[in-house]
């Protein structure tokens, strides 16, 4: 699982867990879709 923690300028925070994450704060964008790496 992928965990992304987002800190907001106003002191708030968001925690996203999953295989598909997308967010767009003020023109900046970060998107993650699944894993492209295999662990053995």
Each residue's pLDDT tens digit, 25-36 = 555 555 555 555
Alpha-carbon distance 3 to 5, whole Å? Answer: 7
What pTM does this model have? 0.26
Instruction: Give the count of domains, the chain.
Output: 1
Confidence of residue 40 (pLDDT cuts 50, 70, 90): very low
Confidence of residue 9 (pLDDT cuts 50, 70, 90): confident
Residue 38 belongs to some domain of the structure: no
Residue 40 belongs to some domain of the structure: no
Alpha-carbon distance 29 to 20, whole Å? Answer: 14
Mean pLDDT of 5-32: 63
Q: Name all contacts of 4-9 with Cβ < 8 Å and 24+ positions apart.
A: 4/30, 4/32
Does pLDDT of 7 surpass 50? yes
Residue range of the domain that includes 15: 2-33
């Amino acid at each position: 699982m992928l965990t992304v923690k987002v800190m907001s300028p106003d002191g708030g925070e968001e925690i996203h867990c999953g295989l598909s994450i997308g967010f767009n704060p003020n023109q900046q964008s970060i998107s993650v879709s699944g894993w492209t790496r295999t662990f053995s």
